[in-house]
């Protein structure tokens, strides 16, 4: 069996360094032991009937009809009746640990659990029926789990707990000068490093029959989508195609290498638009089993969600510690010829993130600056900023044109805010789904 600590080895090597250049003392190291979730536990297909409780750490969100789905990172999936957006009613909580993406088609929910794909029948959304589990079909990486998979046994490494074990390291020791080291089943941190990391969580952090059918809609930061009767999932480095010919048991039919830094996926016509840290990738899916790379619109290193309307793509690019380059902008791209995308406009922004469009309005999540509403010209170019809802820090948005409703995901403790919007785009607060207080 692969040792669970090996999954953390790159992390350990990055943190390992000299405490000081000369040795004149003995240093005490404190041991931490791995916290594992066994395969028998997380691959248990007996999902208990649980009432939906408070959302504590919202991640992916999705709309299907009057249903709103919110993945609580590391815990499971909340289902709400959202027919009245001023009073969303909790229906059910499915304890799918490790779920980070979802999509719905023809009343069947698809959601990942670490590296497995699950299917649930939503005929009664207050009591979803488990249908199937397709094992080992997603990448074992930070985007699909809040832990790492022990490939040999299927156990998940969730984190580390402090033990009473210590080691004394003196001059001349193999471990002298290191901040931490591995030994047997433990990871040892130098005592002075432990004190400076008091209260730190040492867990591996959380590093949408062949007929199209009726599908839901996710946000612009989604990693799951459904198009043409197939489910598509992006990881940091590949695109995975699942056939839904047997809707109750999705089957992996293709894995397409994309390179690194892939972040988001958006369906448009018979294409997929993928946002990455280095550019917008366009893939044709006439043949779902062999997605065709049509083009790449390159840009500076940044985070990059994308949405498309009327052959115009709208891409936000923001920098920062996780996204590479500094700076922030919204780029408008003509994709009428998907093999040769053409930049139409680039507008400097501040703190732009997820986005959505409806006709002549663009809705932009701007972090602490809130949700902004912009006009779009007849040519699809960005016009004036018209309105802003700055009640909370906005991360991503789902636009529901038929209802003229917005569902906005907030950063961290922001929870979910819902708005109605007028024909001129002006948003009016409707209601909220708050997160756990102080968690």
Q: What is the pLDDT of residues 98-120, one digit of tens each?
A: 898 999 999 999 999 999 999 99
Q: Which residue has the higher pLDDT, 244 or 261?
A: 244
Hey, what domains does the chain have and what are their CATH numbers? 4-39+146-196 (no CATH), 209-433 (2.130.10.10)
pLDDT surpassing 60 at residue 14: no
Q: Which residue has the higher pLDDT, 289 or 321?
A: 289
**DSSP tally for the chain: helices H, then strands E:** 3, 34
pLDDT of the residue at 148: 54
pLDDT surpassing 50 at residue 206: no
pLDDT surpassing 50 at residue 12: no
Q: Is the separation of the CB atoms in 45 and 171 below 8 Å?
A: no
∠ at Cα 206 (158, 313), nearest 5°? 155
Q: What is the pLDDT of residues 144-189, one digit of tens each?
A: 344 555 545 677 777 778 888 888 877 767 767 677 778 877 887 7
Return mean pLDDT, the chain.
84
Lookup: tokens for 41: 């536990």
Separation between Cα atoms, residue 176 and residue 195, nearest integer Å: 19
pLDDT of the residue at 2: 45
pLDDT surpassing 60 at residue 33: yes
Backbone angles phi, psi at 6, to 5 degrees: -65, -30
DSSP helix/strand/coil, 433: strand
Separation between Cα atoms, residue 35 and residue 382, nearest integer Å: 50
């Amino acid at each position: 069996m692969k040792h669970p600590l090996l999954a953390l080895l790159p992390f350990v090597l990055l943190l390992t360094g000299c405490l000081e250049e000369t040795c004149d003392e003995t240093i005490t190291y404190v041991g931490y032991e791995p916290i594992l979730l066994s395969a028998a536990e997380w691959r248990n297909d007996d999902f208990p009937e649980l009432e939906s409780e408070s959302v504590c750490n919202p991640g992916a969100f999705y709309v299907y009809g009057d249903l709103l789905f919110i993945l609580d990172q590391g815990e499971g999936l909340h289902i709400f009746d959202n027919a009245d957006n001023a009073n969303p009613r909790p229906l059910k909580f499915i304890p799918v640990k490790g779920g980070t993406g979802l999509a719905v088609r023809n009343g069947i929910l698809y959601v990942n659990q670490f590296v497995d794909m699950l299917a649930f029948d939503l005929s009664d959304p207050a009591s979803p029926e488990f249908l199937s589990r397709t094992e080992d079909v997603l990448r074992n990486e930070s985007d699909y789990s809040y832990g790492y998979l022990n490939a040999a046994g299927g156990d998940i490494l969730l984190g580390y707990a402090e033990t009473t074990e210590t080691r004394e390291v003196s001059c001349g020791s193999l471990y002298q000068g290191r901040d931490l080291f591995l030994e047997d089943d433990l990871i040892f941190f130098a005592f002075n490093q432990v004190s400076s990391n008091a209260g730190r969580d040492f867990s591996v952090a959380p590093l949408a029959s062949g007929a199209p059918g009726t599908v839901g809609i996710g946000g612009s930061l989604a990693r799951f989508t459904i198009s043409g009767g197939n489910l598509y999932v992006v990881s940091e480095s590949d695109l995975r195609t699942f056939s839904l010919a047997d809707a109750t048991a999705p089957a992996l039919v293709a894995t397409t290498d994309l390179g690194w830094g892939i972040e988001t996926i958006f369906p448009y016509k018979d294409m997929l638009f993928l946002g990455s840290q280095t550019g917008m990738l366009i893939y044709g899916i006439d043949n779902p089993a062999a997605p065709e790379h049509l083009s790449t619109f390159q840009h500076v290193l940044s985070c990059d969600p994308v949405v498309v309307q009327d052959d115009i793509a709208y891409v936000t690019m923001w920098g920062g510690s996780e996204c590479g380059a500094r700076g922030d902008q919204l780029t408008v791209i003509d994709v009428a010829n998907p093999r040769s995308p053409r930049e139409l406009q680039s507008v400097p922004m501040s703190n732009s993130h997820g986005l959505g469009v409806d006709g002549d309005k663009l809705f932009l999540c701007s972090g602490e600056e809130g949700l902004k509403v912009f006009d779009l010209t007849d040519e699809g170019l960005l016009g004036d900023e018209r309105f802003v809802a700055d009640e909370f820090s906005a991360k991503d948005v789902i636009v529901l044109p038929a209802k003229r409703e917005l569902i906005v995901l907030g950063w961290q403790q922001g929870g979910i805010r819902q708005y109605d919007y007028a024909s001129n785009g002006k948003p009016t607060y409707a209601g909220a789904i708050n997160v756990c207080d102080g968690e």
